[in-house]
Amino acid sequence: MVVSVSLGSPAREDGAVDASVPPSSSVARRRLRIALVLLPGAVFVALLAFGLLRADGPPAPGEVAPEFSAELLGDDGGLALADLRGAPVVLNFWASWCGPCRDEAPLLNSAAERYGGRVHVVGVNVRDSRPDALEFARDYDYGFRSVVDADGRIYDDYGLTGQPETFVIDAEGKVFQHVQGPFLSEGDLFGQIEGALGRDG
């Protein structure tokens, strides 16, 4: 038995060629045109999805630290990150209910004392009650300013997932280092600060 395979237009049962069905080459060209039309849209959607996923994460070293302006904890007025431009910033996210924050507090005080005038140490108190936060700052004798982030807006802008977390920001406002969890020694913290100072010449 011989099977005949036709690559042209299909035939109807009566043997006539069905002109309503395009040849296979036309189908291929049509599919190619559709793909070329859809491709830019698919690329745009992929890039948009990547951007949204990236926006949820913390800024990486070399990226500009997100700006913020917030009320000071325990003082009148507020503080804006942009106002600190010109010197490195140690931006520490903390809360009174955070156990590791207690262990880290003396190290941050040491940094504020050692580098005062050359480096700004700034705390961001996250989703805390004001009385508890003030008591914590008094108990641990915080020698640096903190801002209030009661609704977690700054925390979310920095893409964080826990406390404590710290960003060392250089004098130009770019992230030098992001440290998840507490600093364990003065050497760890001071090393990051010296690195940011060295970058600034």
Q: Average pLDDT, whole number, for the chain? A: 84
Query: Residue 25: what pLDDT?
Result: 72
Residue with tokens 């002109």: 19
How many angstroms separate the CA atoms of 131 and 136, rounded? 9
pLDDT at 102 > cutoff 90: yes
pTM for the model stands at 0.72
Domain count, the chain: 2
Range of the domain at 31: 18-56
- Both 28 and 75 in one domain: the answer is no
- Both 23 and 108 in one domain: the answer is no
| Domain assignment of residue 10, yes or no | no
- Both 162 and 120 in one domain: the answer is yes
pLDDT at 111 > cutoff 90: yes
How many angstroms separate the CA atoms of 60 and 63, rounded? 6
CA count, 13 A, side-chain hemisphere, 99: 0
- Both 81 and 159 in one domain: the answer is yes
pLDDT (mean) for 90-97: 97
| Active-site hit among 70, 101, 124, 126 | 101
pLDDT tens digits along 20-55: 545 567 777 777 777 676 666 655 545 444 444 444
| Active-site hit among 81, 98, 112, 171 | 98
Query: Residue 23: what pLDDT?
Result: 54
98 is catalytic: yes
pLDDT (mean) for 131-146: 96
Domain endpoint, select from 32, 56, 80: 56
Question: What is the amino acid identity at position 116?
Answer: G
> Is the separation of the CB atoms in 91 and 166 below 8 Å?
yes
pLDDT at 187 > cutoff 60: yes
pLDDT tens digits along 52-67: 444 469 999 999 999 9
101 is catalytic: yes
